[in-house]
Chains A and B, each alone.
Chain A
């Protein structure tokens, strides 16, 4: 057994998993309340990554940074969260709210349209170059934890830590605050919640704000840890985040966190071990195949996910 590799794969899986979990949370919250698959969510992440990159440039870039690195990271995340939060609210207001009573297919098509619009607007305004966060100049990759087989770059720790903090924060928000209570009530039964005096529209707007802010933060974290971003990145992270939400049980918050970590680990392990397991017949290019197969099997055998409850259809 190659322990170095195993440990390293776990670290990689957890990094990715943290990001996926943040994306999955946004998906899951929105789906829980509106029963709407927000396919534009990945593009919100992409916008977050671009906002973070803008903040970096504004503060002088990696070469001659005007502030301390930790302050830079905090600022990037905060600005991206606020920006993406408002973007999410705007998407809800203009693309989804007019469709509350439309057939189910309408909001989905609208979401595809929003995704297309955002992606190509960014391409139009910023061009197609891969943008670099220069994070390897920001903090050298050898700075970090080196302990036995464990080699972790400090920015990886930051990413995992930030993801964890945000998830805990969200958990507290949902379970301990009045807004959280309203969100849960709305998710449980929108009509009944409205009759109980909950301003459903306002709850939906806040949900979108929070979910999109998390995606924005995830975008910055991705840029920091992997170094480069482009207008096209949203789709991949969106798909994986969405997968994580489904595996965890769509609509369930602990499910989304768990699903994210699970998908991240599955991805890392399938890249790491697919060759050994298939005796060299399938190379690392088929790693995505494993992830998707797991998922399809999951969907077919347990469509409600790990933490989800089975839907009983009322007539």
Chain B
């Protein structure tokens, strides 16, 4: 008796789920597709909120939330955010992107966080004339030849970071023997390959190693690093991994130091006795003006640790809200207008200077900064 009833109950629930999923999405405000209002505007966020890269997506979403609340308070606006979880999976990202695109309240997307999310959503957003502004997708091909017409990013691409690291390692550090390690994801592998090519062109002896993205033990990889190696370049998104790597090098008596890519930048987590890290902006944690912002975030988030991509996403959100506000100057706006306004962005950056975009959607001007880390203290060296 009871089991049959349970079955019936679950079946009814199922029907309910289907119906409400359908109803919830069709019952949007009855506004023509391209014309939207300016009173109830949301920003969509596309990034990995669960799954193995959730640390990245959650940090970014947290900074975006912070930015939206701050902006609303200061400008009397009422922006909201809508989550689009990608789970770090392309098909999930695609469905999430469609969902965001078909929500008429959404006037701009912040994201996608990972390059593959941009690859599967770029055309789709372009067709919906919906702007997407990423704070972390750095693959070169995303803007090369402008394949995704409404995609912008506030971080410079790997085509700039790679050569910067190569120049510093071969020119300034004068390293002759280098190991390059990637972490088997779509951020780190192309970057590691570019760095390897560049170093080899500069006559540096390079050997390659690879770890998986969720590894926490690198001691056996370290055992492979011979004692004449001077620098280990580690392209990773996990700052604590870079930290463990540098300590395990020391544990085994290797003199090589770790050179982290921008994903490793996090002063509270990557704190080797001696090392380097490159990051796409003059560090906002040292700029006096920016320090107030950092402190505000720390208070707001109850001291959550963060790396380089959280503040960048904050900036992406700022750009989006500013563009929407400009597009709404006449009381109503279309998504296409927001795209146009984004292209014209010219607002003060949290990194100092202003944010402007090139025709391809890359930030202008761009420069990577290298930090030397001594006993966990960061100082800019060029």
Q: A interface vs B, CB < 8 Å?
A: 5, 8-9, 11-13, 15-16, 120, 123, 127-130, 132, 136, 141-142, 144, 146, 151, 153, 222, 225-233, 236, 267-268, 271-272, 275, 283-285, 287-288
The reply to whether the CB of B243 lies closer than 8 angstroms to some CB of chain A is yes
Contact, CB under 8 Å: B220 / A12 = yes
Contact for B216 among A8, A127, A226, CB less than 8 A: A226
Tally B residues with Cβ within 8 Å of A.
39
Residues of B contacting A271 in the complex (Cβ-Cβ under 8 angstroms): 220-221, 223-224
Contact, CB under 8 Å: B212 / A8 = no
Contact, CB under 8 Å: B251 / A144 = yes
Ranked nearest first, the 10 interchain pairs of A and B with the lowest CB-CB distance are A128-B54, A285-B210, A228-B240, A271-B220, A141-B251, A226-B216, A8-B223, A12-B219, A128-B55, A130-B240
Residues of B contacting A132 in the complex (Cβ-Cβ under 8 angstroms): 240, 243, 269
The reply to whether the CB of B59 lies closer than 8 angstroms to some CB of chain A is yes
Query: How long is the Cα–Cα vector from A9 to B210 in the complex, in angstroms?
Result: 17
Q: Mark B286-306, 1 if CB is under 8 A from A, else 0.
A: 000000000000000000110
Shortest CB-to-CB span from A141 to chain B, Å, is 4
Residues of A contacting B223 in the complex (Cβ-Cβ under 8 angstroms): 5, 8-9, 12, 268, 271-272
A128-B54, A227-B244, A283-B209 known; A141 vs B250 contact (CB < 8 Å): yes
The reply to whether the CB of B253 lies closer than 8 angstroms to some CB of chain A is yes
The reply to whether the CB of B52 lies closer than 8 angstroms to some CB of chain A is yes
Residues of A contacting B55 in the complex (Cβ-Cβ under 8 angstroms): 128-130, 230
The reply to whether the CB of B57 lies closer than 8 angstroms to some CB of chain A is yes
Given A128-B54, A285-B210, A285-B212, 5 additional A-B pairs, CB 8 A: A5-B223, A226-B217, A230-B55, A232-B51, A236-B214
Contact, CB under 8 Å: B209 / A284 = yes
Q: Mark B245-276, 1 if CB is under 8 A from A, else 0.
A: 00110111100000000000000010000000
Residues of A contacting B178 in the complex (Cβ-Cβ under 8 angstroms): none
A8-B252, A141-B251, A227-B243 known; A130 vs B220 contact (CB < 8 Å): no
Query: How long is the Cα–Cα vector from A130 to B53 in the complex, in angstroms?
Result: 10
Residues of B contacting A229 in the complex (Cβ-Cβ under 8 angstroms): 216
Chain B residue at minimum C-beta to C-beta distance from A137 = B271
Shortest CB-to-CB span from B342 to chain A, Å, is 29
Shortest CB-to-CB span from B219 to chain A, Å, is 4
The reply to whether the CB of B50 lies closer than 8 angstroms to some CB of chain A is yes
Residues of A contacting B240 in the complex (Cβ-Cβ under 8 angstroms): 130, 132, 227-228
Contact for A272 among B211, B224, B244, CB less than 8 A: B224
Shortest CB-to-CB span from A75 to chain B, Å, is 22
Residues 193-237 of B contacting A (Cβ, < 8 Å): 208-212, 214, 216-217, 219-224
Contact for A127 among B58, B214, B248, B269, CB less than 8 A: B58
Contact, CB under 8 Å: A142 / B251 = yes
The reply to whether the CB of B184 lies closer than 8 angstroms to some CB of chain A is yes
Contact, CB under 8 Å: A142 / B250 = yes
Query: How long is the Cα–Cα vector from A226 to B247 in the complex, in angstroms?
Result: 10
Residues of A contacting B241 in the complex (Cβ-Cβ under 8 angstroms): 130, 228
Residues of A contacting B41 in the complex (Cβ-Cβ under 8 angstroms): none
Residues of A contacting B269 in the complex (Cβ-Cβ under 8 angstroms): 130, 132
The reply to whether the CB of B318 lies closer than 8 angstroms to some CB of chain A is no
The reply to whether the CB of B106 lies closer than 8 angstroms to some CB of chain A is no
The reply to whether the CB of B238 lies closer than 8 angstroms to some CB of chain A is yes
Contact, CB under 8 Å: B220 / A272 = yes
Residues of B contacting A236 in the complex (Cβ-Cβ under 8 angstroms): 214
27 A-B pairs with CB atoms under 8 Å apart are A11-B219, A12-B219, A12-B223, A128-B49, A128-B50, A128-B59, A129-B58, A129-B305, A130-B238, A130-B241, A132-B243, A132-B269, A141-B247, A141-B248, A142-B250, A142-B251, A226-B216, A226-B217, A227-B243, A227-B247, A228-B243, A229-B216, A233-B216, A272-B220, A283-B209, A284-B224, A287-B220
Contact, CB under 8 Å: A227 / B57 = no
Query: How long is the Cα–Cα vector from A153 to B49 in the complex, in angstroms?
Result: 36
Contact, CB under 8 Å: B54 / A151 = no
Contact, CB under 8 Å: B243 / A268 = no
Residues of B contacting A226 in the complex (Cβ-Cβ under 8 angstroms): 216-217, 244
Query: How long is the Cα–Cα vector from A222 to B184 in the complex, in angstroms?
Result: 22
Contact, CB under 8 Å: B58 / A283 = no
Contact, CB under 8 Å: B220 / A127 = no
Residues of B contacting A222 in the complex (Cβ-Cβ under 8 angstroms): 216
Contact for B214 among A15, A123, A233, CB less than 8 A: A233
Chain B residue at minimum C-beta to C-beta distance from A127 = B58
Contact, CB under 8 Å: A228 / B52 = no
Residues of B contacting A141 in the complex (Cβ-Cβ under 8 angstroms): 247-248, 250-251
Query: How long is the Cα–Cα vector from A13 to B217 in the complex, in angstroms?
Result: 11
Residues of B contacting A9 in the complex (Cβ-Cβ under 8 angstroms): 220, 223
Query: How long is the Cα–Cα vector from A9 to B219 in the complex, in angstroms?
Result: 8
Chain B residue at minimum C-beta to C-beta distance from A149 = B253
Shortest CB-to-CB span from B61 to chain A, Å, is 10
Question: Of A8, A128, A229, A236, which is in contact with the most chain B CB atoms at under 10 Å from its CB?
Answer: A128
Contact, CB under 8 Å: B244 / A129 = no
Shortest CB-to-CB span from A262 to chain B, Å, is 15
Contact, CB under 8 Å: A120 / B216 = no
Question: Of A146, A233, A283, which is in contact with the most chain B CB atoms at under 10 Å from its CB?
Answer: A283
Residues of B contacting A227 in the complex (Cβ-Cβ under 8 angstroms): 216, 240, 243-244, 247
Query: How long is the Cα–Cα vector from A225 to B216 in the complex, in angstroms?
Result: 10
